[in-house]
Amino acid sequence: MSWRRPIRILCSALVLLSAAPALPRPVPEPAAAQRVDIAAHVTEASQRFGIPEHWIYAVMRVESAGRIGAVSSAGAMGLMQLMPGTWARQRARFGLGSDPFDPRDNIMAGTSYLREMYDGYGADGFLAAYNAGPGRYADYRDKGRPLPAETRAYVGRIAPMLQNGSSPPLAAGASPLPVVRTSWTQAALFALRSDTPETSAAFAAERDPADPPLASARAPSGLFAPVSGRRLP
């Protein structure tokens, strides 16, 4: 019958279409990371807790590569890589907000903790205590328990970055900080570098577009630092 021929043609066309290779789909360009201004937060934390600004930038560089949403395999969070318990304690003590990834609050909490470690363990031990935890460092100091390889490498990398630069005005009641001593890091197990001191002009913090929105986002202006991911190379 005459109606069968058009149906056969249509079926043949459908078979050919199903056998045709699929056209490649264009890959969307990844969204660019957002730069976030943290210079004012670093200055505020520096003046409040008596820690040099370039120390704070150095810690953020080595700890998180300046990525605001950084989360380590151990669960450390944000620019200063604070463990949940440390964040909760510092947040309650200093009246900070609820978001551990908020740049200002993370920097304030991390800098206050860095100051506590300095006051508790001095120039020789505060970096190791910050990275490994005060209990782990106390075991190293008092019982000779070896520090984790990650902590030894961390101190070996960051200590030379803290050697130069001017100290900020001290907070009321804060004692002056002597030069960081690196004598205990001179052994071969420490890979010392000759990094120049960190400054806001040399440091950038970025926020990955995939990260949840910040609780208190601030408009970027001037000097910057990065907001997401993991550690600097």
Query: pLDDT at position 33, please?
Result: 59
Write down the architecture of domain 38-164 according to CATH: Orthogonal Bundle (1.10)
- For the record, the structure tokens of 10 come out as 């249509």
The residues spanned by each domain of the chain are: 38-164
- C-alpha closest to that of 38 among 91, 106, 84: 106
- C-alpha closest to that of 58 among 150, 164, 208: 164
SS3 179: coil
Cβ atoms of 211 and 38 closer than 8 Å = no
65: pLDDT strictly greater than 60 = yes
Cβ atoms of 152 and 184 closer than 8 Å = no
114: pLDDT strictly greater than 50 = yes
pLDDT band at 56 (very low <50, low <70, confident <90, very high): very high
Which residues belong to the active site?
Answer: 63
Higher-pLDDT residue of 160, 233:
160
Higher-pLDDT residue of 192, 29:
29
Query: pLDDT at position 210, please?
Result: 61
Least confident of 21-25, 40-44, 64-68, 124-128: 21-25
- pLDDT tens for each residue of 161-194: 887 654 444 343 444 444 444 343 333 323 233 3
Per-residue exposure over 132-159, b if at least 16 CB sit within 10 Å of its own CB, e if not? bbbebbbebeeeeeebeeebbbbbbbbb
Q: What is the DSSP letter of 2?
A: T
- For the record, the structure tokens of 97 come out as 């907000």
Task: Report the pLDDT averaged over residues 108-137.
Answer: 94
